[in-house]
Structure 1
Amino acid sequence: MIPRLALRFVVALFCVSVATATAQETTGTILGTVTDASGGVLPGVTISVKHLETSQVRSVATDSGGRYRVQALLVGRYEITAQLPGFQNLVRSGVVLTVAMEAVVNITMRIGNVSENVTVDGAAPLVETTTSTVSNIVNRQQLEALPLNGRSFEQLALLQPGVTTMPFVSGNITGGMTKEVVMAGSRWATTLFLLDGTEMNEGRNAGSASGNILGVESVREFRVLTQNFNAEYGRASGGIVSAVTRSGSNRFDGAVYEFFRNDRLDAPNFFDIGRPPPFTRNQFGAASGGPVVRDRTFYFANVEGLRQRLGETNVAIVPAAHVHNGLLIDPARPGQFIQVAMTPTAKQFLDTFYALPNAGDVTTADGSRTDAGRLVTNPNQTINDTYMTVKLDQVLSGAHKFFVRYTHDNSEQLDHLTIPVTATSGTITKHLLTIEDSLILSPRLLNTFRFGFNRDHASNAAVDQISVPDSLKFVPGRHIGNLRISGFTDLGEDGSLPRFVLNNIFDVSDDLSYSAGSHAFKTGVTVKRYRSDTLFSRRSNGRYDFTSLPNFLIGRARRLDATLPTADAERRWQQWLIGVYVQDDVRLGSRVRLNAGLRYEPYTKPDELDGKMSILLDPLGSTFTIGEFLHDNPSLANVQPRVGLAWDVFGDGRTSVRTAFGVFMNPILPSVYQVDGTRVPPFFQSATLDNPPFPNAYELVYLNNSQALTLSRDVTRLDPHLRTPAYNRWHLTIDREILRTMKISIGHSGNRGYHLMRQYEGNTVVPTILAEGTSFFPPNSPVRNPAFGSMLSVANDVTSNYHAMNLSLVRPMSAGLQFQAAYTLSKHTDLGSGTLGAMLLTQGAGTGLVSSDPDNLERDRGLSAWDRRHNFVFNAVFELPFGQDRRVALGRIANQLFGGWNVNTIVTLSSGVPLNIVIGTFDNLRNRDSRTPGRPDLAPGASSNPIIGDGRDPNHYFDPKAFLLPPAGFYGNLGRNTLISPGSAVVDLGVTKRERIRSISSGFTAELRLEAFNVLNRANFGQPGRAIFNSDGSYQPSAGVITSTSTPSRQVQLGLRLAW
């Protein structure tokens, strides 16, 4: 039953007499002013706009000020006719309308006979003069022509200024597998993906198990809204990617296509040994659209498939060959070894799980050997992905139309860990349904109703790749656990498997729009129901931590972390969200437009349908409140005002100044709390055991309750007074049309985030404050709450600041050339960049995500984990001028050789992102905070960003000796996120030849494609090892060592597309 709050808002909506354009728009608007030759306005002019693809015609009359506005128009090409007795009829062609666009088409009529037609050809102005929203369109030509690695359309969102991605955050089955898109300084989890106005996000992005959002052939175009969108857009405080599905037209068209890649065409990865590992990829599909009933009913359908078998290049830091014999290098005698009394269990682990290095030793900066080597393996990754979309458009009358679109995607992946004794299998099944009904109630009043449904089922499990003896399993009857040895690559999965998420989002919205004189009023309501069934295990296979290699060899473990057998990790979450808004776009004279809006977006408190929900209200207590999650509802004050101005400086539509300010909130929905909200007693129990026997402590203590050792029970605690995360956002942008075919933009954008999420260890030792104000953690001091071990806590008191200069130059297709260049110079600082619960869904790199000092949050103020100082992106589509239908005609044979060629490219140049240097995996502060090891001291005179040379040596990216181990019990003086990772430079290039085959039909074309990704084959390195010390104070062998690349080596793709 819909809660009373939702019902009241629905009733209130229909009591409103004025209203709005479609929320999360999928259509566009044509508007303008009609004048005579002297500049006088002309009322009563009949304006007819014709959609050339479907022959739909809409007609309105200009008002007393000569103004007209035709809204809720399908995207596409239009012809505009103006008629008034005593004046010549004027026909304006060449107007192309894109999604959420307001095309200003001003018309000048001349006195004459009504039977005389004056035809004018010309597109709408390039400069935006009616809205303060900063957005950019990705059109169908870019979708078809630009080289896309994986043919995932969201990659083109990265072409826009202020849009980037997290380079070291790989996707995860239960949180979305695509790249994490960061827009205008917002957190990546705040980006919203829409398809025909329906939410696509399944966790934090919209990807399938293949890591792609398939359907390039299905998408007509999409708009990327990066800054200060109007009040009709909710649910997201970051940016929005709003895509529109293609529709059928009055002519039948279609295509079949195949894209092929294999290892014979590719360059080896920088870390490959010899030739590239085996690789094949096939992407194929077919699309068709056309009329069912001419001018009335249209269909479009597309089916795609992806099949991939990839030999991955994994580089692991493993014990050197001499370690298998119990030998360690003697630091006091170069070239000599020390014999260690290695336990039989350690010997069995080494021989069973760790292959000998095959890619050389790991050395120090001065070339000395260490006890580590590199192991390169090429396990086979398997991906299968099948995608389908079907859309039906129905024109009921000139004033009434609707469409239905259904999308299905089924994908699966088998991927291997860096040490390939374990693999992970994952599946994602997605269903997306949108039904939209649009009814023109009068020439000034429009109603749009939409129903959306988003269902995705994602599951993830561990798969052993070798036979594991029961004696080596940490938890009897389960997979190999996670083994962490300081300075070496982890063995086994991180213990969070198995897990699954079954999300269902029901979305009902109704929107009205009313135009009167200089006002365009908007109002609407949306009601969403979120249902999320989840399983989020934690350390279900157990995890052992060793603070050094010698300690591992002698069996001296630091800690065992595991879930108790009674833990219940399944939950059924439910929540409702209601959004109500009002928007008024006002013309203040002929040159200025005021955009003012207000959005109210409350949501219900989280509910677990089986009552398995609890919270520890008092962090010093031990009593859990059952059936409660948040103590109060943080959303009841979620009022979001937004205001902006757009100024047509000279009144000619060629120069504009736009500015805006607004409040944008990101609701606390299941994807935020479904991990951390699960791991709370009494329904979920996990514990740590200090100094445990190895490897059978779980059986001795967790199962048999041995009294010889004592468990420290862990708890996750969410602040019962969480507030809705929010951003205050603003911008100032100047646009200028140049040379009639290009637009240049320069602007400043910024935001201040507040109530942002963070995680911290809440059960540390209380420090002693020394005379000079320094915090000191005495040995053997009690923790704050002796009833628990670790108390991983979630709060949202983080603030952030972002400032950027954005430059862009855009040329729409003209004379065979289309390009866009975008450069962003930015700085982003914060007190923390997320939570581990959030990063679990995306396998993050963990760059300073958890607060280091629970008593002094300012200690962590520094660069955000996704600060990119410089980001430049260029893309172009260039049609060579030779051949049929082009500027330079050729003979038949010459045309076959030289005609129909295109050259297309994407160039991306980005600086690196900040990384957090940590001491190691041991507890130097004696405060039990093993999840967030402290930062070291900075050596006197050393740089906090000690990159060696040009940073192009992956064996020694930075100098670990720039950092010192602080005295035990003291914080280090190094700041957070001071090391900058390697930047990246990627050039993707495509060459295509399109040939019209008239022997089949005049509209039949064949297109051959040759595409090279990272055509210059530059090795863009991944992040280096950031843990510096072993527990004995020696430097870890992996410190400063890079073992991966952030982008693939050169990959070549062949494609064939037949279209009609």
Structure 2
Amino acid sequence: MHAVFPLEERELFGRPEPLAAIARPNASRAPSRSPIFREAGMASDQPACPAALHTALRATIRLLASTAFLLAVSARSDAQNIGATLQGLVTDAQKGVLPGVSVTIVNVDTGRSRTVVTDNAGWYRAAALAPGTYELSTELTGFVSYKRSGMTLTTGQEPRIDITLQVASVKETVEVTAAAPLVDVTKNTIGTTVTRKDLDSLPLVTRNFLDLANMTPGVTGVGGGGVNTAGQLNRNNSYLVDGVSNDDTIVSSSRGGFSLEAVREYIVLANQFSAEYGVSSGAIVSVVTRSGTNRNDGRVFFFARNDALDAQNPFSRAQGSGKAPFSQQRGGGFWGGPIVRDRLFYFGSYEGNHIDQTAVVTSSIVPVDQREWPNPTGQHQAFVKADNQVTSGHAIAARYRIDRNLQKGSGIGGLNTHDRGTDNLTRDQDGVVSDTLVLSNAALNEFRFQASQRFNDSDPSPYSPIGTPAVARPSGNFGKAVNQPQSRTEKRFQFVENFSLTRPGHDLKFGTDISVIRGFSYFPRTNDGSFTFDTDRPFNAVDLTTYPTQYTIEHFNPNFNLPNELYAFFAQDTWRVLGGLTLNVGVRYDLETGYRKINGVPDDHNNVQPRLGFVWAPFDDARTAIRGGWGLYVDRSFLNVQLDVAAAQNSDTIVIQNPGYPDPFSRGTLGAVTPSKTVIAVNPQAPQTQNVSLGFQREIGTGLSVSADGVYSRGRYQFNNRDLNYPLFPGGPRPDPTIGRIIQFGMEGNSWSTALLSGVQYHPQHGPGFGISYTLSKSLRDVEDFQYFSQDELKPQADKGPAANDRRHQVVVSFNWNLPGDIQFASLASARSGLPWNVTTGVDNNLDTQTTNDRPDLAVPGGDPLDKATYNANFTRRSGNLGRNVNRGPDYFSLDARLSKHIALPRMKVELFAEAFNVTNYVSLGVPTGNLRSGAFGQSAALATSAAPRRIELGFRVNF
């Protein structure tokens, strides 16, 4: 393996000396950390789990265990349903309902069976069925038995399969082979499922399964597995794996990755998800991992790429530096099967990835021979799982996952020079145990427990010495990045109780989800100082126009504990009303305790979230669904907000206007030294969004379905920053002249989104299949993320404009065709209209000491947005009249293709393949530089997120 993954183990899995132990000048020295506490992220003179925490944790676990037990024997919930549900009505030939019919559902892969009996209304329902292929059969004395096979069920799917039984004169069975219906006539959720076939056959350059999420209408991939939906940010999503959270609550992202071989399938819920899902106003991504079956299955694979087959980076070509070096090797496999047939199964997978790549700096003020730097990555992912079918109504599963990733030179590229690089080490691991119990014909219970830990460490020392200040210029960023070095740990203990209860006409759910989170962060912010320049000209001590405009430095102890608990409760009823009408009514309540525990302000206790949806099947064939709904959705408050506030509250912050350089105090009285402070809103509000939708889905023929939904989303209490000591008029005195800015982390932002989501899916039993999704949308915001400042604090409404992730059009087309000769062709094409970009003056025109958000006047209406003459920045003591994000960047397009050949050998099957990404080598540029002081104004400094020149990959898979 060393030939494939040459990164040394000591580099990938740890360092001899922890970063945070390094002393920094002019800052409180952090306590030293011994290696035993390195991955726990704790200082050695602060025990990783002191006695008080031990006591509190034991008490919490006892309380949760008691709560879980009480719920287990009473009404429990069906939160985060990770399986499928099979349901329907059983009638006789005269359409009379048939109670007492035994309906047996068998998983063909594992032999697991579930038998339910129709109620007095002739209704049957089997929930929490593991994804897989199923057979269904019925038994009732006096009637012909019915058997249906060939049904593949996916996670979150709830197909309705009605059955008509004939009176029997002799014992006989009617057998039918048919796929599950494509239209769900009981759910108003908008979303799609990415199946194992998609993961195996579609070209996927990163092998990050989440990169296929953009096949869902309304979902835009943003690279690295992130998604945007309904005008929300990537932070507004929630990720579940096997029904437990995979969220990083400190930065609000997905917590690590899973090998593609460990994933069976996943569902992307883009809108109108039910009350069982929460802490998200964006998308819900719910992943189901693979399990062993009655068949011993295995696979080994290997992929390879290098620069010989790849197209040249357009920025390297423009700089005349030749093709940047690149090579990648990725290998691994899986093995699974039975330990005891029909009862006990195992599964395991491993994947290793090593990339030698080059980061390209595009700053015009950096010499050409200093614009390309090594940027290698090494990653190891391992996964093991065991499933035990104790009885036909009782199943237990346990799994463990670890993901280690080291990226060197992270942060270099575009306008970020070599100085800004860091070596990032991330390790994710978690263990999950689940218990599924059929309590009766109408009741099912699930319990899950998760223990997880994320550790992240960033080391800037190979690129900039500790103590080096950051330097920001219009056309380049130099010096050590702020917030570096940095390390953090997040531990989570999660308890989920799931129960579903079927009553005539009603499917009831009640649930609770409790997470105990303990985070630690080493977070130095600007302990080493930061200079801001408004010119690219080199510093000249005798030329005052080359001096920096601002200097910021903070002094504080950068070690922080981040305790938080998440409590969630919900109730939901799927009410089958007469005439094919189903109402989905639910309510959810979320509470988190981080504000009180970290910042000492009250937590938000009013997070009641009602949900109301409907589905109407106007025809008896269950092929048409008219659906809609309204819901209130609350986001969690990711701990980075509380961390920023805690750091600022404990720091002495100095802001100097017109400082000296490199000694900021060298200009004497010319530099205005102003202390500032940071606070958090007195009564924090959780961000919330109201979603409304109306649409339809229709199955047309076998394997073909179409859908269209109109969606409106209105967000309130979005995170933003605000200066509470803002001058009453530009250039005027502050209300409190003894202090500078009083920065409040608040929740005063708004968002608006309107979209038409449409899709066509065609998956026949034989022949080519395809999927098409088209999204027409418009998203507006008056803030962008939690560190956003309005141009004019007295007129925040003037910042209402296109959201930074607003794309008017997006089309995604997938295609899959099995050709003669065991050849398979698959392709994936994505086309998106351009993102908006903002124009700024690069100076503090309105004299509020903020230099990054001042906009110019529009001097030439209808002028070229890339021409500086279109704008006027020559004014002071006021704000410009140009709107925010009024310009549009370049479009995005990518066509990926995969051609494979299958070779059957005794007891194994070999697949040889070639994959090409961005086949046409279309150059998808990022948004242009909008700083008018930059020599690169109007020019893109990098490719768009997830864009790259044409890449070709060769590989093989051996299945046995």
User: Residues of 2 paired with 1:263 and 1:15: CA distance?
Assistant: 58
In structure 2, do the counterparts of structure 1 residues 454 and 659 end up closer, same or farther at CA, with 3 Å as the change threshold? same
SS at match of 2:461: strand
Are positions 1:933 and 2:853 aligned together? yes
The answer for the alignment partner of 2:553 in structure 1 is 563
The answer for the alignment partner of 1:430 in structure 2 is 428
Q: What TM-score comes out, normalization by structure 1 length?
A: 0.81
2:388 counterpart (391, 394, 415) = 394
SS at match of 1:906: strand
Higher-Rg structure is: 1
How do 1:1034-1053 residues align onto structure 2 when only pairs under 5 Å count? 1036-1046=934-944, 1047-1053=947-953
SS at match of 2:214: helix
Is residue 789–residue 853 contact of structure 2 (8 Å, CA) maintained in 1?
Answer: no
SS at match of 1:929: coil
Is residue 419–residue 480 contact of structure 2 (8 Å, CA) maintained in 1?
Answer: no
Q: Counterpart amino acid of 2:455?
A: H
Q: What's the CA shift string for 1:767-798, capped at 9, x where partnerless?
A: 0xxxxxxxxx24xx433333333333221111
Q: Counterpart amino acid of 1:200?
A: N
Q: What's the CA shift string for 1:47-73, capped at 9, x where partnerless?
A: 100011111111111122211111121
The answer for the alignment partner of 1:409 in structure 2 is 403
SS at match of 1:447: strand
In structure 2, do the counterparts of structure 1 residues 19 and 31 end up closer, same or farther at CA, with 3 Å as the change threshold? farther
Instruction: Give, in angstroms, the shift of residue 134 of structure 1.
Output: 1.2
RMSD: 2.4
2:762 counterpart (811, 824, 827) = 811
Instruction: Give, in angstroms, the shift of residue 274 of structure 1.
Output: 5.7
User: Residues of 1 paired with 2:807 and 2:456: CA distance?
Assistant: 31
Instruction: Give, in angstroms, the shift of residue 672 of structure 1.
Output: 3.6
How do 1:354-503 residues align onto structure 2 when only pairs under 5 Å count? 354-355=366-367, 358=368, 377-415=371-409, 417=412, 418-465=416-463, 478-485=466-473, 487-503=474-490
2:235 counterpart (189, 199, 213) = 189
Q: What TM-score comes out, normalization by structure 2 length?
A: 0.89
The answer for the alignment partner of 1:284 in structure 2 is 331
Are positions 1:602 and 2:591 aligned together? yes
Are positions 1:800 and 2:751 aligned together? yes
User: Residues of 2 paired with 1:744 and 1:784: CA distance?
Assistant: 59
Instruction: Give, in angstroms, the shift of residue 32 of structure 1.
Output: 0.7
Is residue 191–residue 237 contact of structure 1 (8 Å, CA) maintained in 2?
Answer: yes
Are positions 1:245 and 2:289 aligned together? yes
Are positions 1:29 and 2:85 aligned together? yes
SS at match of 1:102: coil
User: Residues of 2 paired with 1:643 and 1:790: CA distance?
Assistant: 44
The answer for the alignment partner of 1:517 in structure 2 is 504
In structure 2, do the counterparts of structure 1 residues 262 and 518 end up closer, same or farther at CA, with 3 Å as the change threshold? same
The answer for the alignment partner of 2:11 in structure 1 is none
How do 1:591-740 residues align onto structure 2 when only pairs under 5 Å count? 591-606=580-595, 628-630=599-601, 632-634=602-604, 636-680=605-649, 683-697=650-664, 711-740=673-702
User: Residues of 1 paired with 2:264 and 2:129: CA distance?
Assistant: 14
Q: Counterpart amino acid of 2:180?
A: A
Which structure 1 segments of 5+ residues have no match? 168-177, 319-353, 359-374, 469-476, 614-627, 768-776, 837-848, 883-898, 948-957, 1030-1035
Larger CA deviation: 637-646 vs 813-822: 813-822
User: Residues of 1 paired with 2:335 and 2:60: CA distance?
Assistant: 45
1:854 counterpart (793, 797, 806) = 793
1:69 counterpart (116, 120, 125) = 125
Identity over aligned residues, as a percent? 28
Q: What's the CA shift string for 1:64-91, capped at 9, x where partnerless?
A: 2211111121110000011111222111
SS at match of 2:484: coil
User: Residues of 2 paired with 1:376 and 1:92: CA distance?
Assistant: 67
In structure 2, do the counterparts of structure 1 residues 379 and 144 end up closer, same or farther at CA, with 3 Å as the change threshold? same
Which structure 2 segments of 5+ residues have no match? 1-55
User: Residues of 2 paired with 1:647 and 1:1040: CA distance?
Assistant: 51
How do 1:82-101 residues align onto structure 2 when only pairs under 5 Å count? 82-101=138-157
Instruction: Give, in angstroms, the shift of residue 860 of structure 1.
Output: 0.8
In structure 2, do the counterparts of structure 1 residues 933 and 380 end up closer, same or farther at CA, with 3 Å as the change threshold? same
Is residue 211–residue 226 contact of structure 2 (8 Å, CA) maintained in 1?
Answer: no
Q: Counterpart amino acid of 1:1026?
A: G
Instruction: Give, in angstroms, the shift of residue 685 of structure 1.
Output: 2.2
User: Residues of 2 paired with 1:412 and 1:113: CA distance?
Assistant: 70
User: Residues of 1 paired with 2:778 and 2:551: CA distance?
Assistant: 38
SS at match of 1:143: helix
Are positions 1:230 and 2:274 aligned together? yes
Are positions 1:831 and 2:788 aligned together? no
How do 1:265-344 residues align onto structure 2 when only pairs under 5 Å count? 265-272=309-316, 273=320, 275-318=322-365
The answer for the alignment partner of 2:13 in structure 1 is none
User: Residues of 1 paired with 2:61 and 2:846: CA distance?
Assistant: 49
Are positions 1:963 and 2:932 aligned together? no
Are positions 1:163 and 2:209 aligned together? no
SS at match of 1:312: strand
Are positions 1:542 and 2:504 aligned together? no
SS at match of 2:90: strand
Q: What's the CA shift string for 1:170-215, capped at 9, x where partnerless?
A: xxxxxxxx2531122222211111111121122446567xxx8341
Larger CA deviation: 76-85 vs 37-46: 37-46
Are positions 1:584 and 2:584 aligned together? no
Larger CA deviation: 134-143 vs 104-113: 104-113
In structure 2, do the counterparts of structure 1 residues 1016 and 479 end up closer, same or farther at CA, with 3 Å as the change threshold? farther
Instruction: Give, in angstroms, the shift of residue 23 of structure 1.
Output: 1.1
Q: Counterpart amino acid of 1:494?
A: A
Is residue 710–residue 757 contact of structure 2 (8 Å, CA) maintained in 1?
Answer: yes
1:143 counterpart (195, 199, 203) = 199
SS at match of 2:475: coil
SS at match of 2:677: strand
Instruction: Give, in angstroms, the shift of residue 850 of structure 1.
Output: 2.2
Instruction: Give, in angstroms, the shift of residue 20 of structure 1.
Output: 5.5
The answer for the alignment partner of 1:758 in structure 2 is 720
Instruction: Give, in angstroms, the shift of residue 1051 of structure 1.
Output: 0.4
Are positions 1:1058 and 2:958 aligned together? yes
SS at match of 2:114: strand
Instruction: Give, in angstroms, the shift of residue 835 of structure 1.
Output: 1.9
Are positions 1:217 and 2:117 aligned together? no
The answer for the alignment partner of 2:711 in structure 1 is 749
Q: How many residues align?
A: 891
Is residue 594–residue 642 contact of structure 2 (8 Å, CA) maintained in 1?
Answer: no
2:562 counterpart (573, 593, 602) = 573
The answer for the alignment partner of 1:474 in structure 2 is none
Q: What's the CA shift string for 1:974-994, capped at 9, x where partnerless?
A: 011111111101001111111
User: Residues of 2 paired with 1:27 and 1:967: CA distance?
Assistant: 62
User: Residues of 2 paired with 1:15 and 1:405: CA distance?
Assistant: 24
Instruction: Give, in angstroms, the shift of residue 553 of structure 1.
Output: 2.6
Instruction: Give, in angstroms, the shift of residue 11 of structure 1.
Output: 4.6
How do 1:768-807 residues align onto structure 2 when only pairs under 5 Å count? 777-778=730-731, 781-807=732-758
Instruction: Give, in angstroms, the shift of residue 501 of structure 1.
Output: 1.7
Instruction: Give, in angstroms, the shift of residue 228 of structure 1.
Output: 1.1
User: Residues of 1 paired with 2:326 and 2:794: CA distance?
Assistant: 51
Q: Counterpart amino acid of 1:528?
A: S
